[in-house]
């Protein structure tokens, strides 16, 4: 049996060199879906998925460049990107000043706000990514790059899943924990 290039139930994609990607329903009720990568092995009537290539997520973070400012206002420029350094347009940013701005297609939004001695909470949010908050002192100009992590349930790390392979009416069905997955793989 060769699963390369096939998908099972829109959650397991089989790749070259006996590798796979799993994006499925979240097991723990979180928003998003579970995610895992690893190697698969087929022996007679069984399929084993070993999630040995999934990397830990490092979460959201930001990098700041500060520039001294002697005026009564500060300028804040925020660029929002994902972990592949691609811009994330339509991200909402609230600098805690009561004004929410949306990032443009270039991934950048600019603010001009009055200086303040009190740090303000900056809130960055967009559908499909984890919300991120950080604090800014309103005493300097800032160029900030915010890196957002996609929102998903759980990373599946170092687990081993076994499926029974059932051939029925020229179709292949995978069964795990008494649950059958749609026959989306055709036998040859």
Convert the pLDDT of each residue in 51-100 to its tens digit: 998 876 667 889 999 999 899 999 999 999 988 889 999 999 998 877 79
Q: What is the pLDDT of residue 8?
A: 65
Ramachandran bin of 184, using left for φ above 0, alpha for ψ from -120 to 50, beta for the remaining angles: alpha
Dist CA 114 CA 101 (whole Å): 16
Residue 102 sits at φ, ψ, to 5 deg, of -110, 135
Give 129's DSSP letter: B
| Core vs surface per residue 38-77: b (16+ CB within 10 A) or e | bebeeeeeebebbbeebeeeeebebeeeeeeeeeeebebe
Host H or E run for residue 37: strand 33-43
Q: What is the pLDDT of residue 30?
A: 45
- Could you give the 3-state DSSP secondary structure of residue 98? coil
Give the residues of the chain that fall short of pLDDT 70: 1-10, 25-33, 56-58, 151-153, 182-188
Structure tokens at 180: 């059958």
The domain defined by 61-148 carries CATH number 3.30.530.50: no
Residue 107 sits at φ, ψ, to 5 deg, of 80, 10
Instruction: Give the pairing of strands 120-125 and 92-94.
Output: antiparallel
C-alpha dist (Å) from residue 36 to 114, 119, 165: 46, 39, 21
């Amino acid at each position: 049996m060769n699963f390369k290039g096939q998908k099972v139930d829109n959650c397991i994609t089989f790749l070259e060199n006996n590798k796979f990607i799993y994006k499925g329903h979240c097991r723990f009720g979180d928003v998003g879906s579970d995610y895992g990568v690893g190697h698969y092995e087929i022996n007679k009537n069984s399929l084993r998925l070993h999630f040995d290539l999934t990397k830990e997520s490092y979460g959201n973070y930001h990098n700041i460049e500060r520039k001294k400012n002697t005026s009564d206002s500060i300028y804040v420029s925020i660029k929002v990107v994902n972990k592949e350094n691609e811009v994330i347009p339509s991200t909402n940013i609230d600098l805690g000043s009561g004004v929410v701005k949306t990032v443009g297609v270039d991934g950048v939004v600019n603010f001009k706000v009055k200086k303040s001695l009190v740090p303000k909470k900056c809130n960055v949010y967009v559908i499909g990514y984890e919300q991120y908050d950080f604090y800014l002192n309103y005493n300097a100009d800032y160029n900030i790059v915010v890196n957002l992590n996609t929102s998903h349930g759980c990373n599946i790390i170092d687990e081993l899943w076994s499926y029974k392979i059932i051939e029925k009416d020229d179709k292949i069905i995978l069964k795990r924990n008494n649950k059958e997955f749609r026959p989306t793989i055709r036998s040859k």
